[in-house]
Each structure stands twice: as structure tokens, then as C-alpha cells.
Chains A and B, each alone.
Chain A
Amino acid sequence: MAWIGVLTAIALLVVVALPLAFVVLQAVFPDLAAGSMTGAFKPVVDALDDDSLPGLLGNTLGLGLSVCAGSLALALPLAALRAFTRLPWAAFWDLLFLIPFMLPPYIGAFAWALTLQPNGYLAQATGLYGASLLFSRAGVAAVMVLHLFPVAYFAISRTLAALGPRQAEAARVCGAGPLRRALRVTLPMSLPAIAGSMLLVFALSIEEYGTPAALGKPIEFLVLVTSIEERLAEWPIDLPGAAVLSLVLLALAALAFLAQHRVATRRDYTSVTGKAAAPTPAPLGPWRLPALALFAATGLVAVVVPVGAVLATAFSETLSGGLAWSNMGLRHFRAVLAPDSGALQALGNSLMLACGAAVTTGVLGGLAAFVTVRRHAQGPAAGLLDALATLPNALPGMVVAVGMILAWNREAWGITVYNTPWILLLAYTCLLLPYPVRNVSASLRQISSGLDDAARVCGATPAMLLRRVVLPLVWPSLLVSMLMVFAIATRELVASVMLAPSGFDTVATYVFNQFIQGSPGTGMALSVFAIFSSTALLIALYTGARRRGSIAV
């Protein structure tokens, strides 16, 4: 078993620790990029001495915590309904809630602005507008909740479903009422999944750039990540300052990680012990309509409104023409489909990279979760592996990109992935690894290690154990997290811009370019292609996976 641990550790060191180490070195040695070690620690002192830092920290923490609270409030009821009841069209809702992921945050925020600002789409349709609601701290947090809540929804619903009904049944036999069963049995048993997904949401919300930049900047609501991006995008470039602030961000995520770790390991959460217990979702009865209404309302606000704004912009000949039949047309789609536009090639690149990222993170993340949860790595080593596989989540994409350049753009390597598309795969793997790790760890904590022992007694090799016992049990969690990785990788922008080899475009870099050159409509048209083609691919993967295994995914 040890060799699996060693291999996983080596892979994590190369994918995560190496670029991270260069970010740390850059923070300490300001002239590292030029190969000099002089002036050590000056940037650390300078950045930490800045009087704007406390304000930035406060804003960042406040935003992260409110996005967590909002996501949990929205996701918990949905996840419980999805897990415990015979919800109609369950697969449809799952797919629908993956769509917010596929919308890049800056496009989502822009779509909301186009909808809610004065003379926006809502005002054109109904005369109402809500700019002051949107351009506010609460507005920034709400828009982020709407595209991050699926992280919590998927993690919690899968874990709750895997819990099975036995413990709750036992509590019922002992006389506990429904409320008491939920609060004393089901909720505590699902704590690892809740804590794990809150950690992801927290890390994602303090790392996200698009929404705070688009909606927060006009009201001077600045967070750490906007300040990091300013240091990297404003002449003169301040690499060391950006690296120091990234480490502050990382420290925040590490605190969240420790809190999560305490919750997840404090008790034994085993519920899957090998005794057959088919999950028996309860019929909804009279609650069918209200439950469906809740799902539909969430889908409307989180998916239909922003995607509708994207569609409206893509099909409008001009933005100033507004919502009018005479202004509808296919100009932007023609621009995207023009043979020399390179847009479809960018789409192909993105889809291929996203598939690659889903597979590599799935394999590596699944193994990392198995090794740490099953203690095939001991003591601090296990903690370190777990942390390595989680922390990249809080690193802004731009900083991971800089770390990758510093690490891989060296003549000493001889042959390097830098300046080839492989570096993008490496960057996506680093950034997105936490999804499978968190989801699979949470489900592994529910699966008794007695099953592993039983397999071993029966003479299973480690590979057989993984393939025949562990994989089928964690497959629902693993698959859903791989789908999330796919969705996010199709639209990753910041690292892609910095690392794309010459002449290589992805959807996100192409769309962003259209935006900065003042043709949002053309950018939106390619986004439409991207959203629909990745959704189609997801449906194919999802139905394929459901058919193959007899497991409820």
C-alpha cells in the first residue's frame, strides 16, 4: 500500500508544492525572477506594513463568511430534499445546478449588471431596476452565492444520500421525532461534508476576482484578491507584493482548513459498513409542489436570469439597441463562426483541456483522499498531503500562474512543459484538485475501513481493493466532483491568460479579449456555444456513468 502513498505524494509535490514554493520564494526574495537573492524579506515587511491591509483583510473575511452562510442556507434544504426524497427530475436539477459553474464569474457579474442596472434588461422589460441592490456589498456576496452554492449542494446531497436511512431508523425506533432525528443524527453525521464544502466555498470566495472587480470596484469595495491583481496588472508590476498578499490569502484559507479538519476528524462518521441498506427516499406527498417550486425558483435566479442575459446580449445586434425585435440578429454568431476567427478552435482547446483536467484531478485527488483518510500516510505527512491537496483553492489563479512560470521557465530543466499546452493542464490540475479531494474524503470517512480489511483478507491486491471496493463506493462523489472540475476548467480565465503558449486560445481568453476590445456581444456568443457544448458533454458523461454503474449518481 505504501507505494500508492509515495506516488501520490510525489505527484502532489510536483503539481502543487513546486509552484507554491516559488510563490513563497518570490515573497521573500523580491528579485527572484531575475535570479537574485538580495533584499530578502523587504516585500514582506512592506506589504504587511501597508495601512490598507486591515481593511482588505476585514472585507475579504466578511465576504468569505457571508458567501458561506448564504450558500449553506440555500444548499442545505435543496441537498436534503435531493438526498432523502423521491424528487421528480432529480437528474435535471443536478445538471441545471452545474451550469452556474460554467459561466465565468466576470461574465456572470456582467450579466447581472446588464440585467439590473438602469435601462438594463429588467428595466427594459418591466421598468424596474435594482442597481443599488447589485452594486453593494450584499450584491457582491449574493452574486457569488448564486454561482458557488452548487459546491455545497453537490457535496452535501451526495453524502446525505450515502448516509442511508439506518441510523435515522434506529433513532426512530428509539422514539425520536423527525426534527430530533434530523438535528441529532442526520445533521451531525453529515458534518464532514458540510464542513468540507464550506471550506471550498470559503476558499473560492476569497480567491474569486471577477465578481468583486465588476461589482465591487465601482463602490470601492476592495478585497485582497483585487489588490493582488492590481499589483500584477498595474505598471510597474509588483510580483513580490502580490506574492506576499497571496500568502496572506493562503493563511486565511489555512485557518479555514484547520477548522474544517477539526470538525471532520473529531469523531467517527462511519455509516457505510458493508451491511446492505438500500437508500429508501421518502415520497414527497403533498410537499411535491413546494419542493419543486423551491428548485425551480433557485434555477430561475441562479441559471435562467444570468444565462438569459448572456443570450440576450449575444443575439442583440447592438447593446445600445436594447431588447427589440429589430435589434435581434446573428451578427455575433457569424463573427464567432467566421473561418479565421479562431473561436471554434479555442472552444475545442477548452473542451479537451477540461476533459484532461477532470481525469487527472479525479485520479490524483481520489488517491490523495484515499491515502490521507485511510492513514496509509502517517501523522503529519497525512496532514501535509491533505493540506497540499486543498490549499491551491485559495490561491488566485494569477498567482498559481506566476508560480508556474517561475518554476517551469528555467533553462536548467532541459525540456519543460512551459510554452506548451501541457502547462495549462498542470495549472488546472493544481487549481482544481481540491474538488475531488474534499468530496471523496468526505465520503471515505463514512465508509468503514473494515471493508478494506475484508478485501485484504480475501486476498485482494491494493489495486484490486481500490478498483473493486473503494472506487464503486466513492464513485458518486468522485464523478460529481470530476464534472465540477470539467465545468470550471472550461471557463478558467486568469491562469489561462498568463500561461497559454503563443497562439493558443481557450474559450475564456478569447471571450475576455472580445470584452476588452469593446465587443461584448461576440464574447457572449462564444460563451453561448461554450455553455451549450459543455452542458451537452456533461449530459453525455452523466447519463453514460449512470448507465454503466447500477449506482445512483
Chain B
Amino acid sequence: MKSLSRRSILSLAGTSATMLALPVARATPAAVTVYTAGPAGLARQLASGFQKRTGMEVKLFQATTGQVMARLAAEKANPQADVLISASWDTAVDLAAQGELLAHTSPNATQVPAPLKHSHYVAQGAAALAIVWNPKSGKPRPQDWSDLATPEYRNLVTMPDPATSGSAYGLLSGLLASDAYGWPFFERLKANGLVIAGANAQALNPVMQGAKAAVFGAVDYISLGAQAQGEQIEVIYPRSGTVLEARPAMILKSARQVEGARQFIDYLLTDEAQGLVATTYMLPARQDIAARRPGWKDVPLLPEQSGGPSRAETLARFKATMGSRG
């Protein structure tokens, strides 16, 4: 049974590969419109790789997740996008629940771990949330989240705003669900002078320059990239665990180029495209593609949570807890 299904998947993959390899058959080279969050360089490379393979042009709109979502919302009267790649898993879950997505199971998704795929969306890659520490700060190397609530780190820690950064929200809800942390821990962080900065880069820049000593919950791939460029920072995965934030790719129900959109999602999970994802220091969604960073087994994770209070409730309480200045 198992081998049969594997064979059928292989044959499916084979068929799709043949289809991908025959761009000539296409009468009019249609264009797929892709709205994507994430690195611009990666988006451009994926677009040109896809065009080489299929002959189909990719119309690209690349911005932050918030800007991509705002453009989608404003375009509702006359939708333009076929494929959406978001940096926040929640957006895919919500859009699927609202019936805004088309089901598509990619034959290339077999090596994607189960939590990172769904009938209507699949991860392109993932990043972990980490502590980013400036070794020149003269402060002891933090081992765990709680080290950043100690007096040594008083007024020296930044955190990306969970309201703007989907991944920081993932960490927040993960830590709240954990018995060791919860709201009292965030109250301690606040009392210790934690500053909530806007997006990831806004939290990271003061740490790179040395105005602050550490980021609480930075998306790791940006910092790993900065480190590779020679920035003297260290990315630390806390002992008690962190969360992985996957980047979902999905086809919108309003897509005009459905076939092209399916092919694009399939392309995202090819060896070539997953290899491109790896060059950004993200974790490729397929476990069989080598990552250029600590991989699936090297990052300790917080226990899986289910249920819990709504996003709006959590964010409102977070604002109230971290907002009032003493």
C-alpha cells in the first residue's frame, strides 16, 4: 500500500515534470501573478527560474506581508493575484477558513513535514525565532529567554512588535501557552525595560550598532544573513525552546491563471526552488534539501499548543501589559 502510494506520487511527479519540461506546447505564454512577502532577491530568482522552466512569465508584487494583504483587500472588486506567499502562517489559516483559497496538493510536497502542509496551502520555507546577541555588548551570553529579564539586561533588549510581525506573534502565543512563561514573564520583561520596536529590522538595527544588547524573538534568517555579511552578532536558540514560523504559499480562489498557479506552487517545491530558499538562510520546507543553517533537529521547539485565546484578545492584553510606562 505504502509503496503503491509512493509509486503513484512518483508517477505524478514524473508527469508534472514532463509537463513542466514542455513549454513549447503552450500557444500563448500566459503570465502568473504572484504576490509575495519575503526577500526581493529570492522572489526575482524564483520568477526567472519558473519562466525558464515553463515559458510562463511571472508578474511579481513583493512587499511586507501587511502591504501585500492590504493590496489584496483593496483589489477585491477586481482581483489581480493568482498566487500568494505570506510570511505569516495565520494569514493562510484565516483565508482558507474564509473560503478564499483553492485546494491544491502538490506532488512535490511529499518531503514537506505534515504540520507544514494543508489541502489549501503549503510552506515554502520556515524560520525560527531566536535571541540575537551582540557579543561586544559586554553582557553575558544569554542561554534562554529568561536571561533577558535579568538586571544585567536592563534597558538593553528590543522585541519586534507581535502586532506587525506575524512571527513575533507566534512566539508570543507559544510562550504564553507554556507553563514556565505566561503573562508574568512578559510583565518581568516590561519591568526590565524591554522596548517594543516596529518590525524585525527595527529591532535588529540598534543591536547591530550596539545601542542595545539583544533582540528578544528575532526572525533568524535575516540575522543569519547579516552575520554572513560580517555583522558581529550571534543567533542563539534558547534552551527551553522556540517556535518555527512557516511561510505559506497558496492559490487564491479568484485566480485567473489557475493552471499556471498550480505549476508555480509545484515549482516552489522543486529541488531548484528549495535550493534558492536555502540561500536566504531560511529553512527549506522540504526536509531532504540541505539547509545552510541549524536545521529541523537543531532548534529546540516549544511544545505544540492548541486552542487558546484569540489573536485579537492576546494582542490587546499584550498592548496593555507592555504599554503602560511606569
> Contact residues of A with B, CB < 8 Å?
32-35, 110, 113-114, 117-120, 131, 213-214, 217-220, 230, 232-237, 239, 317-322, 331, 340, 342, 398, 401-402, 405-406, 409-411, 419, 497-498, 500, 502-503, 509-510, 513, 515-520
Decide if A233 touches B73 in the complex (CB within 8 Å). no
Q: Judge whether B223 and A518 touch: CB under 8 Å.
A: yes
**CB-based contact A502/B223 at 8 Å:** no
> Taking A119-B210, A234-B163, A503-B60 as contacts, is the C-beta distance between A517 and B74 under 8 angstroms?
no
CA gap between A517 and B40 in the complex, in Å: 9
Within 8 A of A (CB), among B187-206: 195-202, 204-206
Cβ B40 vs Cβ A513 within 8 A: yes
Question: Which of A322, A398, A405, A510 has the largest count of B CB atoms less than 10 A from its CB?
Answer: A405
Contact with A along B45-83 (1 / 0, CB 8 A): 000000000000001111111110111111111101000
Minimum-distance CB pairs A-B, first 7: A233-B66, A119-B210, A502-B59, A117-B211, A33-B76, A518-B222, A405-B74
The complex places the Cα of A409 from the Cα of B73 at a distance, in Å, of: 12
Known contacts A218-B197, A320-B134; A498 and B77 CB within 8 A of each other: no
Assuming the contacts A33-B73, A321-B230, asked whether A120 and B209 have C-beta atoms less than 8 A apart, the reply is: yes
Compute how far the CA of A235 lies from the CA of B70 in the bound complex, rounded to whole angstroms.
Answer: 9
Of B33, B66, B166, B323, most A-chain CB atoms within 10 Å: B66
Known contacts: A232-B66, A321-B232. The answer to whether A35 contacts B91 by CB under 8 A is: no
* A113 and B206 within 8 A (CB): yes
Contact of B225 among A321, A342, A410, A518 (CB under 8 A): A518
Assess whether B70 is in contact with A237, with CB atoms less than 8 Å apart.
yes
CA distance in complex: A237, B71 (Å):
10
Q: Which residues of B contact A (CB under 8 A)?
A: 33, 39-40, 44, 59-67, 69-78, 80, 88, 90-91, 94, 134, 136, 161, 163-164, 166, 195-202, 204-206, 208-211, 222-223, 225-226, 229-233, 323, 325
Q: Tell which of A32, A35, A117, A217 touches B209, judged by Cβ atoms closer than 8 Å.
A: A117
Partner of B166 from the list A32, A113, A214, A235 (CB cut-off 8 Å) is: A235
Contacts of A239 in B (CB 8 A): 70, 73-74
B residues near A321, Cβ cutoff 8 Å:
230, 232
Q: List 12 A-B contacts (CB under 8 A).
A: A32-B77, A33-B75, A35-B77, A113-B211, A117-B206, A218-B196, A239-B74, A402-B74, A406-B77, A498-B63, A515-B201, A520-B205
Beyond the given pairs A235-B166, A318-B232, A319-B205, 12 more chain A to chain B contacts, judged by CB atoms under 8 angstroms and listed by A's residue number, are: A32-B77, A35-B76, A117-B206, A119-B210, A217-B161, A219-B325, A235-B91, A237-B72, A318-B230, A409-B78, A497-B67, A498-B74
Among A34, A510, A520, point to the contact of B201 (Cβ < 8 A): A520
Given contact pairs A117-B209, A320-B233, A410-B78, A518 touches B61 in the complex (Cβ within 8 A): no
User: Are A502 and B201 touching (Cβ within 8 A)?
Assistant: no
Q: How far is the CA of A500 from the CA of B231 in the complex (A)?
A: 32
Residue on A with the closest CB to B72? A237
Which residues of chain A are within 8 angstroms of B233 by Cβ–Cβ distance?
Answer: 320
Min CB distance A122 to B, Å, is 11
What CA separation (Å) do A118 and B213 show in the bound complex? Answer: 11
